[in-house]
């Protein structure tokens, strides 16, 4: 697979110049410009290098902890399956990280409170020592 680091770097520079990023809240799912990353780290696709991300924790008005999502369903402890907007998807718990809100592109919807609580519990369990 070809990784276009040059195009990602140019987009990242444009994103960094955004003065007023979108308003967001916990439990929302957004298309997020994750970018091109190294090795086996999750990456975004398309011209904006996006992937859906669940906002699990709002840290400030400009940063949040998010969990990238995938359409691949894998039977692994670091993939947590959910149904969102009628589609089966996985939350990639091992790829959780801090994001700047300037990376947010389009809001897709919001996860219910009960389901989000289940996700938080799964995330917590995923990082427990074995």
pLDDT for 36: 92
> Quick check: 67 and 78 in contact, CB under 8 A?
no
**Which residues 6+ apart lie within 8 Å of 1 measured at CB?**
none
When the candidates are 3.40.50.300, 2.115.10.20, 3.40.710.10, 2.30.30.110, the CATH number that belongs to 5-126 is 2.30.30.110
User: Is it the case that residue 39 has pLDDT exceeding 90?
Assistant: no
Query: What confidence category does residue 12 fall into, taking pLDDT thresholds of 50, 70 and 90?
Result: very high
Written as six digits, the tokens of 18 are 């955004």
Query: What confidence category does residue 129 fall into, taking pLDDT thresholds of 50, 70 and 90?
Result: confident
pTM score: 0.94
Q: For the chain, how many helices (H) and strands (E)?
A: 2, 7
pLDDT for 27: 98
Report which DSSP code applies to 61: S
Tell me the pLDDT tens digit for each residue of 52-61. Answer: 999 999 999 9
């Amino acid at each position: 697979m070809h990784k276009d680091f040059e195009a990602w770097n140019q987009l990242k520079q444009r994103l960094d110049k955004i003065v007023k990023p979108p308003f967001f809240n916990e439990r929302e799912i957004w298309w997020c410009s994750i970018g091109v990353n190294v090795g086996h780290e999750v990456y975004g696709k398309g011209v904006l290098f996006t992937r859906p991300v669940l906002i699990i924790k709002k840290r400030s008005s400009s940063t949040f902890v998010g969990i990238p999502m995938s359409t691949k369903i894998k039977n692994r402890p670091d993939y947590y399956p959910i149904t969102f907007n009628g589609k089966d998807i996985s939350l990639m718990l091992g790829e959780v990280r801090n994001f700047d809100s300037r990376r947010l592109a389009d809001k897709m919807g919001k996860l219910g409170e009960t389901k989000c609580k289940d996700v938080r519990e799964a995330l917590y369990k995923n990082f427990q020592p074995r």
